[in-house]
Amino acid sequence: MTTKTDGVIQMPAETGKQVLNVDIIRNDFPILNRKIHGNRIVYLDSAATTQKPACVINALSFFYRTSNANIHRGAYTLSEESSSAYENLREKIARFIGGVDQRGIVFTRNTTESLNLVARSWSKANIKAGDEIILTEMEHHSNLVPWIMIAQETGAVLKHIPVTEDGYLDMDIFYKLLSERTKVVSVTMVSNVLGTINPVSEIIKAAHSYNAVTVLDGAQGVPHTKVDAKELDCDFLAFSAHKMLGPTGIGVLYGKPELLEKMEPVLTGGGMIQEVTLNSATWAEIPWKFEAGTPNYADVIAFSSAIDYLEKLSMDAIRIHEKELTAYTLERLETFPDLTVYGPRDIEHRAGVVAFYDKLIHPHDLSTILDSYGIAIRAGHHCAQPLMRRYNIPANVRASFYIYNDKADVDALIEGLKKAREYFQYETS
Amino acid sequence: MTTKTDGVIQMPAETGKQVLNVDIIRNDFPILNRKIHGNRIVYLDSAATTQKPACVINALSFFYRTSNANIHRGAYTLSEESSSAYENLREKIARFIGGVDQRGIVFTRNTTESLNLVARSWSKANIKAGDEIILTEMEHHSNLVPWIMIAQETGAVLKHIPVTEDGYLDMDIFYKLLSERTKVVSVTMVSNVLGTINPVSEIIKAAHSYNAVTVLDGAQGVPHTKVDAKELDCDFLAFSAHKMLGPTGIGVLYGKPELLEKMEPVLTGGGMIQEVTLNSATWAEIPWKFEAGTPNYADVIAFSSAIDYLEKLSMDAIRIHEKELTAYTLERLETFPDLTVYGPRDIEHRAGVVAFYDKLIHPHDLSTILDSYGIAIRAGHHCAQPLMRRYNIPANVRASFYIYNDKADVDALIEGLKKAREYFQYETS
Amino acid sequence: MKQVKLDDLYRDTILDHYKNPRGRKELDRIDAEHKGYNPLCGDQVTIKAKFTNGYLEDVAVDSQGCAISVASGSMLAELLPGKSLKEIQQITEAFREMMHGKKLPDDMDIGDLDALEGVKKYHSRIKCALIPWITLNDLIKARQEKETLVSPSLPE
Amino acid sequence: MKQVKLDDLYRDTILDHYKNPRGRKELDRIDAEHKGYNPLCGDQVTIKAKFTNGYLEDVAVDSQGCAISVASGSMLAELLPGKSLKEIQQITEAFREMMHGKKLPDDMDIGDLDALEGVKKYHSRIKCALIPWITLNDLIKARQEKETLVSPSLPE
Ligand SMILES: Cc1ncc(COP(=O)(O)O)c(C=O)c1O
Ligand SMILES: Cc1ncc(COP(=O)(O)O)c(C=O)c1O
């Protein structure tokens, strides 16, 4: 086993496995040096947003210090530099998600805006009363509410793939829901509560056999595993930079160019037009047609560093690392009394998200108490109220992992859970 | 006259005037140390986007290095810090634009999105066939195209206040256009091409006398002069952080709370809801109702530093500074042969934007040649194609100023214009 | 791991109210009932009230939620019975202001409520402390609106 | 101020074409006419062509725009007359690739066009150099579509 200084440990050749060297990686994340109430920070909320490596933070500063100028429209050095950097990232992202056509990469603010864009623009033009849109019971609000709006406006009907008790999509029911009426199937790659890795390839194939358009909410997928949009053959894929080491304010919508070309823009104004008169306007080509106004180009450029960082580690190594951490967490939590853990137990179908419900301490109290030990976890409905209702709980607590977490973080969590009970004067086993 | 080290020169008490000390201010802008083709950078494109002071760049890094966490939904220290910082800026912006109700401050991506939000949400619900929307001939595409869309969708009629030869709005015609049919009057505070400062207070009063809703495009107004939205009594005001020392990716829409409350959200999903079921959703209160998904909170927090910096200099001093620079530029350009300068000559009605047309050298050639001397100006239609047509030119060249520009920059521009002609082997006077 | 420093938040008084909520009881007469719900965290509270001559004679509070919201509801149930609607309104207002950092009037008796003062430092938790109070306030408002329809001049 | 270093962009050949555009002339017969327009910078070009047996016998180019686009149109007018549609297509493709950084085939005669090679470093100006070529291409395509309707097999 050789340790390299770039955060990757090369395992013996015969295993072909690379794993992450968290000690080295942690050095790249300045925030992890911070103390919270005197304790080292144990950041277990990466499903909400990830921390940023120094290279991303520095790329952002460096850009503002040396090259900043509005893009696309200036014929001077700074503007040429900004524009190229911006367009280069489009190419990089297209490669990162499997070598798709870069004209299909639209920059938005976040996953939510990407999904709204598909719902507003593609669906509204293509959906009529009686058509069906298939979603799942485990969707994030951002992949539910835009479709609720479309259904209300068009008279389309929403169908939801139910979630089994152990956290899987009920695929038998999915196949029953599918029909000639199905126009859109929009599902999350990974549940942000259950951690379930959904069989999206199978879902896409089935949907396409009915000529339905497929939309993937990749917010929890793209950051954590290699995603090949070309092989998956999804029609749309949405994700957020801030959940994969990048800055806030950048989302991506990938769409097949032939679909994007037929779509109307949702936002109009400077930068996305071809020709404007006082009473008419024509549009620029894709993807610019969908990017109205001054884009958040500085953050786009910083996102580029995040992609480099992830590629250096390799998405496969990231997945292996998270699998190990998740297995360990499940193992430790399962022996904990009066505590329910949600989602699949089979680690092959589970990403690094572990939500649980402590029957003795309310999620918000737990979160506050854990914080006093420096442990950052999220309590609440995780923007998935229908799923909470499915499991009949008002809220729960979620720990989620990324490349800078290790088993010591999980141990800290378990220790924290015990302390919380002591603090509330409950017995701990 | 006493020079302080904070970039402001206090003039003798009797004048009551403060002016900017550009030498000191320039030190705050790291990019200005850069050389372009061996020349010092002369950045004259602040109307497109401004450069950023070190304090803004550092605030952004510092935030990512110490406090980053997703806002609103976490009950742990980092998230509480992020959330407070985010909400504090709302309060600060509300104060900055005249002490309006902070519930009226919505964060968007840019001015363009802010204007789209008003057009989509307010207008679409309140406008029907035959209603009239008054705009002007000098609007930026971002305040034209969203209304063209609304007109096409609703059957409303667009009316445009014409621009006089010397660059003013023809107010006589405005009064003739106003009628009971007028539902919206949306105008720019300052033309991004002509530099004209429009009589928006008068326009708002007149519009309100017909119960029309008023929208101000403040993209070129708010960064350059004290704007008091309360006194102006505008119903909506849109502007962009990146044009006022802030980061890219942040726009503001101020709206009167009583109007915002009645408006439907345009983007839906996480963070903006109250309660979601599989088939229905209710909304959070304003302003959160309009902020779907993870906001660009890091940039919002950096924007806060930009506001502090502007307030330290004082918006009044900034206006005085730009007035002097603009007067000097007009004076120098007016003696230049074969060159047309656009916009008002009365400096009281003109902001720091000077567009001109060199009859001997095409705008794009000029821009490329000036760049070789380190001078960054913008050539093109400046997202105002109808205005270009009004003056019968395909494009022109625009110099625009901000706090870090001084007369030496203007001299460099004039020198550059001469060199360009020499280079093209035209005689120069 | 370092010692918890949360004693400003979860004081013993709070834990005591949390574990033995005072308002979880039956009333012999229910004049008004109201449900409060915070969908963002799932906290629920049901308040039942018995009024006599413009006084809150008794109140039952049934909370499902975190320690802060349950304790706050329990304190409400302990403190308010026998108070006039005007007094209740003043206490509610004072408590709300305390949560936003203001000092209480010296002469106001707020029972165990001062144990909740530490909550003000935890922004995301303030709503938890306020929810029973907001719910009671809504109950009173709804009742007043209804009664105004019957007899316009109601004793405070 | 430092000396301009733009000789890779505005070579003398370009300035010469710009000041004396070769294609600004009348044709004795116009078989096809096409207008190109780049609304983003206002550049306009009108191309008129005379075809004989599948060859471009003559071409008139009237450009309104920057030095780069005018010079490019002028070079087009100088280079193409007498070439077959296939040759024109090859030259157009080669020029487009040159603008995106590729080398030209060794044996291709592109007249003065190589003076425009420096444009490739100025991303925002590449479109200027290409606009007359795109316009001619559109003209040929439109003509072919029209002729296909009449006689499906057209000599190249
Ligand atoms: C007058 C005016 N309105 C609107 C805009 C659009 O601003 P943004 O690109 O930040 O959306 C601009 C700037 O380009 C402008 O100058
Ligand atoms: C599965 C899923 N979808 C969508 C989102 C929304 O992402 P964003 O807030 O970046 O728009 C999230 C994250 O919160 C998520 O986990």
Q: Is A140 in the pocket of ligand 2 (CB under 6 A)?
A: yes
What percent of chain A lies above the pLDDT cut of 90? 89
Q: Who contacts C72 (Cβ-Cβ below 8 Å, separation ≥6)?
A: C113, C116, C128, C129, C130, C131, C132, C133
Q: Is A220 in the pocket of ligand 2 (CB under 6 A)?
A: yes
Q: Which residues of B are known catalytic residues?
A: 383
H/E stretch holding A338 reads none
What percent of chain B lies above the pLDDT cut of 70? 96
Report pLDDT for D39: 77
Would the pLDDT of A428 be above 60? no
Inter-chain contact A70–B48, Cβ cutoff 8 Å? Answer: yes
Decide if A247 contacts A58 (C-beta within 8 A): no
Question: pLDDT band for position C156 (50/70/90)?
Answer: very low
B196 C-alpha to center of ligand 1: Å?
15
Would the pLDDT of D65 be above 70? yes
Inter-chain contact B112–A61, Cβ cutoff 8 Å? Answer: no
In this complex, the chains that touch B, judged by 3 or more CB pairs closer than 8 A, are A, C, D
Would the pLDDT of D104 be above 90? no
- Mean pLDDT, chain C, whole residue set: 88
Q: What is the mean pLDDT of residues C80-93?
A: 95
Report pLDDT for C12: 86
Residue of A nearest to B148 (CA): A279
Please choose, from the candidates A305, A231, A283, the residue with its C-alpha nearest in 3D space to the C-alpha of residue A59. Answer: A305
Report pLDDT for A14: 53
Q: Is C20 in CB contact (< 8 Å) with chain A?
A: no
Report pLDDT for C154: 46
Give CA separation, B312 vs B5, B29, B278, B307, in Å.
Answer: 12, 15, 50, 8
Report pLDDT for A130: 97
Which residues in A have their CB inside 8 Å of a CB on C?
Answer: 37-39, 361-365, 368-369, 372-374, 379-381, 385, 388, 393-395, 412, 415-416, 419, 423-425
Would the pLDDT of B14 be above 60? no
Report pLDDT for D152: 47
Place of tokens 């550092």: B58
Question: pLDDT band for position B77 (50/70/90)?
Answer: confident
Q: Which of A225-239, A248-262, B108-122, D13-27 has the lowest mean pLDDT?
A: D13-27
Decide if B283 contacts B270 (C-beta within 8 A): no
Phi, psi for residue A403 in degrees, rounded to 5: -60, -20
Q: Which domains does chain C have, with CATH numbers?
A: 2-146 (3.90.1010.10)
- Mean pLDDT, chain B, whole residue set: 94
Would the pLDDT of C83 be above 80? yes
Q: What is the mean pLDDT of residues B356-375?
A: 94
Would the pLDDT of D8 be above 90? no
- How many whole angstroms separate alpha carbon D4 and alpha carbon A197? 59
Q: Tell me: the pLDDT tens digits for C23-74? A: 999 999 999 999 998 877 778 999 999 999 989 999 999 999 999 999 999 9
Q: What is the mean pLDDT of residues A95-113?
A: 98
Inter-chain contact C39–B74, Cβ cutoff 8 Å? Answer: no
Mutate which of A36, A109, A388 to test chain B, going by most B C-beta atoms within 10 A?
A: A109
Report pLDDT for C3: 52
Give the DSSP per-residue string, B30-94. GGGG-EETTEEPEE-BTTT-----HHHHHHHHHHHHHT----SS--SHHHHHHHHHHHHHHHHHH
Q: Tell me: the pLDDT tens digits for A58-83? A: 999 999 999 999 987 677 889 988 99
Query: How far is the alpha carbon of B75 from chain C, nearest alpha carbon, in Å?
Result: 6
Q: Ligand 2: which atom is nearest the Cα of residue A114?
A: 11
Question: pLDDT band for position D10 (50/70/90)?
Answer: confident
- Mean pLDDT, chain A, whole residue set: 94
Q: Which of A80, A274, A275 sits opposite D124 (nearest CB)?
A: A80
Are there at least 3 beta-carbon pairs closer than 8 Å between B and A? yes
A109 C-alpha to center of ligand 2: Å?
11
Report pLDDT for C124: 85
Q: What is the mean pLDDT of residues D58-83?
A: 95
Q: Tell me: the pLDDT tens digits for C94-140? A: 999 999 888 888 888 888 998 999 898 888 889 999 999 999 999 99
Report pLDDT for D4: 52
H/E stretch holding B228 reads none
Report pLDDT for D156: 44
Question: pLDDT band for position B184 (50/70/90)?
Answer: very high
Report pLDDT for B230: 98
Among B112, B136, B194, name the best residue to mutate to test ligand 1's pocket (greatest count of ligand atoms within 8 A of Cβ): B112
DSSP helix/strand/coil, A226: coil
Question: pLDDT band for position D7 (50/70/90)?
Answer: low
Would the pLDDT of C78 be above 70? yes
Residue of B nearest to C128 (CA): B75
Q: Is A270 in the pocket of ligand 1 (CB under 6 A)?
A: yes
Decide if A370 contacts A41 (C-beta within 8 A): no
A37 or A350: which leads in pLDDT = A350
Q: Is B310 in CB contact (< 8 Å) with chain A?
A: no
Q: What is the mean pLDDT of residues A312-332?
A: 97
Question: pLDDT band for position D155 (50/70/90)?
Answer: very low
Q: What is the mean pLDDT of residues A271-280?
A: 95
| Interface ipTM | 0.92
Active site residue A383: yes
Q: Tell me: the pLDDT tens digits for B134-154? A: 999 999 999 999 999 999 999
Q: Tell me: the pLDDT tens digits for A164-178? A: 999 999 999 999 999
Are there at least 3 beta-carbon pairs closer than 8 Å between D and C? no
- How many whole angstroms separate alpha carbon A83 and alpha carbon B30? 20
Choosing from A383, A414, A415, A426, the catalytic residue is: A383
Q: What is the mean pLDDT of residues A112-138?
A: 96
Decide if A220 contacts A188 (C-beta within 8 A): yes
Q: Tell me: the pLDDT tens digits for B211-265? A: 999 999 999 999 999 999 999 999 999 999 999 999 999 999 999 999 999 999 9
Q: Is A188 in the pocket of ligand 2 (CB under 6 A)?
A: yes
Question: pLDDT band for position D108 (50/70/90)?
Answer: confident
Report pLDDT for B350: 97
Q: Tell me: the pLDDT tens digits for C3-29? A: 556 667 788 899 999 999 999 999 999
Would the pLDDT of B168 be above 90? yes
Would the pLDDT of B408 be above 50? yes
Question: pLDDT band for position C2 (50/70/90)?
Answer: low
Q: Is A111 in the pocket of ligand 2 (CB under 6 A)?
A: yes
- How many whole angstroms separate alpha carbon A307 and alpha carbon A241? 9
Give CA separation, A174 vs A170, A178, A397, A412, B116, in Å.
Answer: 6, 6, 29, 40, 38
Q: Tell me: the pLDDT tens digits for B284-343? A: 999 999 999 999 999 999 999 999 999 999 999 999 999 999 999 999 999 899 999 999
